[in-house]
A = this chain, B = another copy of it.
Amino acid sequence: MALDTTIVPTTLPGGKNATAGKLIVAASELMIERSSIEISLSDIAQKSGVNSALVKYHFGNKDGLLLALLARDAATEVANLEYLLAQPIAPTAKLKLHIAGIIRAYHRFPYINRLIHYLLHETSAEAADEVSKFFVAPLLDFHRRLLAEGIEAGEFRAVDPVLFYTSLIGACDHLFFGRHAMSRASGVGPITDEVCRQYIKHMEALICDGMLNPVQQGSAAPTG
């Protein structure tokens, strides 16, 4: 199956991509409304006003549609990464903006996280390859370039990009993927805007300065 992961211009008024765009927007809105990726083809058809047979025509099947949706959102995020890297600001400032950007993206599109896990682990090897190609690879490449820039500028110590990617993405991902489990433990509430703000602050401080007491360490005051 050839998966169509071309970015579909969703606002195009007519032409052959307008239908595909409507289906993607409908799937996205349904998943946000329901806080779940469990949506049916007939739900998507009803929401979009498009015949469900056209899902097969445009995307092969429902997984193809979900993959195209994830590709659309990944393209937005990758464009943001390129924009960030080109800014005339210090690597440490870019790193903090990046941490906040990841957590906000997961919060704004709560289905992204579940879609990634679903497409990586429960569908085909082709779908997993696609997710890796448009999501994992560009993000890892961004980390390689940001770390090199920070080390070059003398702001970062030498950090392996693959290990860095694993720890940062794992930590951000777990707020959303693991909260489900944690919510059953005492003292853990749902993820609100305020929890996201706290987690962004926590991650910025942890990744930049660690958790040792700066006074004890004899270092300068924390910059955060």
Contact = CB atoms under 8 A, between A and B. Distances in A.
Interface string A157-180: 101101111111111111101111
Contacts of A155: 212-213, 216
B220 A163 contact: no
A108 interface: no
Nearest to A177: B170
Interface residues of A, number: 65
From A173, A203, A205, A223, residue with most partner B Cβ within 10 Å: A173
A181 B132 contact: yes
Interface stretch (A11-19, A51-59, A75-83, A184-192): A184-192
A198 B161 CA distance: 12
Contacts of A215: 154
A154 B218 CA distance: 12
A216 B154 contact: yes
Interface in A126-176: 128-129, 131-133, 136-137, 140, 154-157, 159-160, 162-175
A211 B208 contact: yes
A219 interface: yes
A218 B216 contact: no
Nearest to A121: B180
Contact of A171 (B170, B216, B217, B218): B170
Q: How many copies does the complex hold?
A: 2
Contact of A157 (B121, B154, B212): B212
Given A174-B166, A198-B160, A219 B218 contact: yes
Contacts of A208: 210-212
Contacts of A167: 171, 174, 202-203, 206
Contacts of A180: 120-121, 128
Given A181-B128, A181-B136, A169 B174 contact: yes
7 contacts: A129-B184, A136-B184, A140-B187, A156-B212, A159-B211, A166-B175, A169-B178
